[in-house]
Amino acid sequence: MKRGSSYTGIKRRQVCTSCWRARDRCRKLKKMREATIPTTLPAKYYTDPTIFKAEIDRFYFGRWIYAGREERVEKPGDYFLCDVAGESVIVTCNASGKLQAFYNVCRHRGTRMCTAPEGAFEGRIQCPYHGWTYALDGSLVSAPNMGGTGFSRFDYPLHQIACDIWDGHVFLNFAAKRSQLAEQLGELPDKFAAWKMGDLKFHKRIVYDVKANWKLIIQNYNECLHCPTVHPALDRLTDYLGADNQAPSPNYIGGSMGFREGMETMTFDGVRRRDYLPGLNAEQRAMVCYYAIYPNLLLALHPDYMMTHTLWPKAPDRTEIVCEWHFDPREMAKPGFQGDDAIEFWDQINREDWGISELSQLGIGSRAYTPGPYSKREELLYAFDRVVTEE
């Protein structure tokens, strides 16, 4: 038969039809596989200013957020400032010894009253503009030149923000309708009671400016699959596949990791130079608990110290991270006390984490980025993503 005959054309069409059907089946199977494999979030969750603002409203102004340590405001008049997405907050101890929080806004003409990041008020809070003066409980006690206008100072106290304390940790809540802090924390107070966090004392603070979305920091914190490549010093101390993760909660995720043989704590050499924290049993002395308490507290409980990271988002691609180390005061009072071994170790690990998180931010910002598959060992990250997208 001649080339190009109708028979040949029919055969070619049959072959092409079979190919199309096969390709169609492949596409359907690929979609089915993708539907069953959890994937990372779309790029907009890390880059879109509108989504970023909505997340700040939901997570930072709609939940209890971590502000700092109670020991910073132990005496009446002690205070520190928090900048929460541009809202300046005064956290202080009033004359009765009660912890309170106020918007840093004068009720006269809206002036920001306090600018020093921490310090002590001399019995009052005074606006530097026109001298309006408030007691430590926020009540207005003096308003110069307001007489004879029908004005009552009782109508103009400072605007309050709810605050509460968990074992030395100060939390704030801006929401008008809110649950109790205990409800958000769930079982964590009982789970971590043995560490007696309220007794520990501040030793060192380092502030980092990280060019990455706040959620990338939480995700990085909650998996160690990157440890062999990003953290060789950390990998020498702990098995990156040895995490014992707790079932995810809508308010926190985390788990514990043990030490390799011969290692006792998280320092470059794994040598413990301090006594164990009092109250820990043998099992607790042999592990570190790493928990992300939404939205902004990364809590790491070690056998001989506590480390916290506080996340303050500044933009879709920028997060300020405050890292602090806390130790048993009895250890700190001993001659020759050493804490820098833990600080130097974690400062290096932190910088490695921030660097890889910044590279993630850059890659996600590419037009080539599409959501990728999570492994089974990244279940905590996927759980966090669901909180972000489904709440």
Mean pLDDT of 63-89: 97
Cα dist from 334 to 71, 199, 271, 329, 368, whole Å = 20, 16, 18, 9, 56
pTM of the model: 0.90
What percent of the chain is modeled with pLDDT above 70? 91
Using CA atoms, how far apart are residues 174 and 377, in angstroms rounded to an integer?
Answer: 35
Tell me: the pLDDT tens digits for 162-206? 999 999 999 999 999 999 999 999 999 999 999 999 999 999 999
Please say if the pLDDT value at position 32 is more than 90: no
pLDDT at residue 28 in the model: 54
Q: What is the pLDDT of residue 10?
A: 47
pLDDT value of position 148: 75
Per-residue pLDDT tens over the stretch 216-243? 999 999 999 999 999 999 999 999 998 8
At a CB cut-off of 8 Å and minimum separation 6, what does 360 contact? 212, 216, 220
d(CA 302, CA 313): 26
Q: Which H/E stretch holds residue 136?
A: none
The DSSP annotation for 88-115 comes to: EEEEEE-TTS-EEEEES--TTT------
User: Residue 4's pLDDT is what?
Assistant: 45
Count Cα atoms within 13 angstroms, Cβ side, for 196.
13
| Rounded average pLDDT over 273-293 | 97
Q: What is the CA radius of gyration of the chain?
A: 27
CB 345 within 8 A of CB 208: no
**What pLDDT does 243 receive?**
84
Bridging pattern class, strands 160-166 and 133-134: unpaired
Residue 194 vs residue 25, higher pLDDT: 194
108: number of Cβ within 10 Å: 17
Average model confidence (pLDDT) for the chain? 92
Q: In order of start, what are the domains of the chain with their CATH numbers? A: 51-58+184-390 (3.90.380.10), 65-177 (2.102.10.10)
Confidence check: pLDDT of 306 > 50: yes
Binned at pLDDT 50, 70 and 90, residue 1 comes out as very low
Sign of CA dihedral 57, 60, 61, 63: positive
Average pLDDT over residues 58-65: 98
133 — pLDDT class (breaks 50, 70, 90): very high
CA 243-324-181 angle, to 5 degrees, is 75
**DSSP annotation of 39:** B
Q: Rounded distance, CA 27 to CA 24, Å?
A: 5
Query: Which pair of structure tokens corresponds to residue 8?
Result: 């040949």
The whole-number pLDDT of residue 390 equals 87
